[in-house]
Amino acid sequence: MSGAAETISVASPADFHVHLRQGELAKVVTPHVRQGGFSLAYVMPNLKPPITNTEQALLYRAQLQAIDPAVEYLMTLYLSPELTPEEIRKAAAAGITGVKSYPRGVTTNSEGGIESYDAYDAVFAAMEETGMVLNLHGEVPSVAETNICVLNAEPAFLPHLRKLHAKFPKLRIVLEHATTRAAVECVKSLGDTVACTITAHHLALTVDDWAGQSWNFCKPVAKYPDDRMALQEVVREGHPRFFLGSDSAPHPFQAKATASPTHACAAGLYTSPVLLPLVAHLLESFGALDKLEGFVSTHGRAFYGRRASASDRRVVLRRVSSKVVGIEGYGAGPTHVVPFWAGKAIGWELVEEREQEA
Amino acid sequence: MSGAAETISVASPADFHVHLRQGELAKVVTPHVRQGGFSLAYVMPNLKPPITNTEQALLYRAQLQAIDPAVEYLMTLYLSPELTPEEIRKAAAAGITGVKSYPRGVTTNSEGGIESYDAYDAVFAAMEETGMVLNLHGEVPSVAETNICVLNAEPAFLPHLRKLHAKFPKLRIVLEHATTRAAVECVKSLGDTVACTITAHHLALTVDDWAGQSWNFCKPVAKYPDDRMALQEVVREGHPRFFLGSDSAPHPFQAKATASPTHACAAGLYTSPVLLPLVAHLLESFGALDKLEGFVSTHGRAFYGRRASASDRRVVLRRVSSKVVGIEGYGAGPTHVVPFWAGKAIGWELVEEREQEA
């Protein structure tokens, strides 16, 4: 932090969970990482087909670098039966950072997700050995018979997290996009190898906001007001193992805006283009603006061993009375995407580098 | 019940909670009461402006009778500060059956709803005296500070129901469209003057079904699988104080299908045109088909003192292998409405009277 109350600067903001898609959509959304104020993108592997080996991940990174070379892309593999300890060692040697686990069927492109972790002991051991990070989508699939639904799918997952951590205490694990007080308390109770990402939108939303409003619908769904409060509290506390992972997930306008009796809307909120101003705005709304740099840069970078250097770009935010996010969005046709918070005001804006130098 | 397992007949089915709207939309949807197999419609008063006095209610009933004279319409007034004990006595004398209470802002056209019951003691006393029924939309408004949201708004309302019943033990009260185990248990624990309606759709849906799917979005929202199970259990039990109130609520196609970043979808599911076959289908799915007549006719009619006579029309249902509800719906433009269950199959169909006689 620097300057008067009317500007804030953050060293090298890092988004530790983002969906950059592929093809034409990737060309539209990848530049939004930097537009949203971020220097590092931790890239999810749930493409079609998913990124399951080193070669695919390196190719994907090259594609992203070709779109915007100014961002650092940390790559992940999709946990699936074809992943072997050998592939983990190869991936680690090639600079792939993590492995993402999706429970089967709970979110976008998760049809190939896992049903049990027991089969992956050798993979996790190799990850622990090579220093790779395990990124968990922490939900179990809905099962009506046992009263599991989207509202308690995350608390029901937490025993799996505890078990994994007990079995592989040196394996770095990130519980992604936590949405409940139970998850926050669980991560806090575990060792220093377990961290947790929190999205911008889960700091803003509760279930009331996505009831009948598909533009606020994502997985995991936003929960009770008390859950949101727990997320806000742990950010305000400045807990070093909690940091931003936006889970920014662009979906075409039509897929978000329109449901038919036989087809639901797409799950996912797109925050990349407005991310840093939005996070500043939200943190200020619950008295945590002084924790901004920790939340969007320092904590995550420390956990991942990617500390910002003194020479890294600092991003400057300036207070504005009220800057409304345009509802027109970006792209066109199948790449037309509209960000979260469209039509609403943000109290901060990025100061362009040229402007800073002037 | 009569005939072989392949047909069922029900005496004079009664829908004890339905929205028939006004104007052109009323002309489209009112005939669907009978099309859906029902002889009696207990009509909600949340028009624009709401039905708040006897004169308006009688006029509205005349409008509905003009559209379809073959249905018996039981009318309700909207509980609001302009309702007086005198008006209650006048309404009762004119054959108005009930008064509907909407908490402020929780559902369609509820902006004029009430915030506290304390001001209505004299009105409730007059209702008790004249035998009018109090119909409660049993939710409190969301308040983030106290963790109240659409998921716990109904349990949070139940103390108000208990208090009203304790204060007016002879006043007949119906907790409308119950959605939670807590509500079922509360109503069961109260005296014989307290009953409860259950919709068709809440016997079918959980929160997972409306997450991102506005066509399954209504208020109160469908809750946890265990809550749905409690509703199914009390129907299967054949409890006489639990009966059908469809809460069938038509909204124009565009209002259901389309959300923008700044406008949510309409809350409400439209079941009237398919109601009796759908209820039979659902009850059969959880082993309660033998309770159909009690649930859709006998229980509600007994509570309201509107017993079917021996000469009343019996509606006959016939088992079909799979009859898919059309997604094309009814009406056009602002009256284009598509029913719940569109695109899905129902295992029962109504046998037309002409066919029965042939």
Chain B CB contacts of A342 below 8 Å: 261-262
Contact B228 A144 (CB under 8 A): yes
pLDDT of residue A227: 98
What CATH number does the domain containing B140 carry? Answer: 3.20.20.140
Q: Does B9 reside within a domain?
A: no
What would the pLDDT profile of B181-202 be if each residue is shown by its tens digit? 999 999 999 999 999 999 999 9
The predicted model gives B312-340 an average pLDDT of 94
Task: Report how many Cβ contacts below 8 Å link chain A to chain B.
Answer: 115
CA distance B99 to chain A (A): 28
Q: Which of A145, A212, A228 sits opposite B264 (nearest CB)?
A: A212
CA distance A257 to chain B (A): 5
Q: Is the pLDDT at B65 greater than 80, yes or no?
A: yes
Contact A271, A248 (CB under 8 A): yes
The alpha helices in chain A, defined as continuous H runs, are 23-29, 31-35, 54-67, 85-93, 121-130, 153-167, 181-189, 207-210, 225-237, 253-257, 275-285, 292-293, 299-304, 353-357
What would the pLDDT profile of B139-154 be if each residue is shown by its tens digit? 999 999 999 999 999 9
What would the pLDDT profile of A108-129 be if each residue is shown by its tens digit? 666 666 667 888 999 999 999 9
pLDDT band at B269 (very low <50, low <70, confident <90, very high): very high
Contact B150 A338 (CB under 8 A): no
Contact A145 B215 (CB under 8 A): no
pLDDT band at A104 (very low <50, low <70, confident <90, very high): confident
Chain A CB contacts of B265 below 8 Å: 212-214, 259
pLDDT band at A99 (very low <50, low <70, confident <90, very high): very high
Residue A314 tokens read as 């600092």
Preferred mutation among A208, A209, A233, A278 to probe B, highest tally of B CBs within 10 A: A208
Q: Is the pLDDT at B3 greater than 60, yes or no?
A: no
pLDDT of residue B2: 43
Contact B261 A208 (CB under 8 A): no
Q: Which of A211, A258, A343 sits opposite B262 (nearest CB)?
A: A343
> Which residues lie across from B56 on neighbouring strands?
none
Contact B225 A147 (CB under 8 A): yes
DSSP letter, residue B283: H
Rounded distance between C-alpha atoms, residue A296 and residue A279, angstroms: 8
Cβ–Cβ contact A259 with B under 8 A: yes
Q: Is the pLDDT at A156 greater than 50, yes or no?
A: yes
pLDDT band at A105 (very low <50, low <70, confident <90, very high): low
CA distance A342 to chain B (A): 6
* Amino acid identity, position B194: V
pLDDT of residue B1: 44
Residue A304 has, within 13 A of its CA and on its CB side, a CA count of: 34
pLDDT of residue B352: 82
Q: Does A289 reside within a domain?
A: yes
pLDDT of residue B5: 60
Chain B CB contacts of A206 below 8 Å: 144, 149
Q: Does A258 reside within a domain?
A: yes
Q: Does A351 reside within a domain?
A: no
Residue A281 tokens read as 């705005």
Q: Does B144 reside within a domain?
A: yes
pLDDT of residue B118: 85
CA distance A89 to chain B (A): 39
pLDDT band at B308 (very low <50, low <70, confident <90, very high): confident
A220 preceded by a cis bond (ω within 30 of 0):
yes
Q: What is the mean pLDDT of chain B?
A: 94
Q: Which of A150, A215, A224 sits opposite B259 (nearest CB)?
A: A215
Q: Phi-psi category of A131—alpha, beta or left, where left has phi over 0 and alpha has psi -120 to 50?
A: left
CA distance A326 to chain B (A): 10
Cβ–Cβ contact A151 with B under 8 A: yes
Q: What is the pTM of this model?
A: 0.95
Q: What is the mean pLDDT of chain A?
A: 94
Preferred mutation among B108, B148, B154, B207 to probe A, highest tally of A CBs within 10 A: B207
CA distance B323 to chain A (A): 16
- Nearest-10 crossing angle of helices A85-93, A54-67: 30
Q: Is the pLDDT at B211 greater than 90, yes or no?
A: yes
pLDDT of residue B4: 47
Residue A56 sits in which domain range? 14-313
Contact B246, B200 (CB under 8 A): yes
Q: Is the pLDDT at B213 greater than 60, yes or no?
A: yes
Q: Is the pLDDT at B113 greater than 90, yes or no?
A: no
pLDDT of residue A358: 56
Q: Phi-psi category of B341—alpha, beta or left, where left has phi over 0 and alpha has psi -120 to 50?
A: left
pLDDT of residue A4: 47
pLDDT of residue A113: 62
Rounded distance between C-alpha atoms, residue A201 and residue A223, angstroms: 11
For A221, name the nearest residue in chain B, comparing CA atoms only: B211
Q: Does A267 reside within a domain?
A: yes
Q: Does B338 reside within a domain?
A: no
A49 preceded by a cis bond (ω within 30 of 0):
yes
Q: How many domains does chain A have?
A: 1
Q: Does B34 reside within a domain?
A: yes
Chain B CB contacts of A261 below 8 Å: 215, 327, 338, 342-343
Cβ–Cβ contact A150 with B under 8 A: yes
The predicted model gives B282-311 an average pLDDT of 95
Q: Is the pLDDT at A329 greater than 60, yes or no?
A: yes
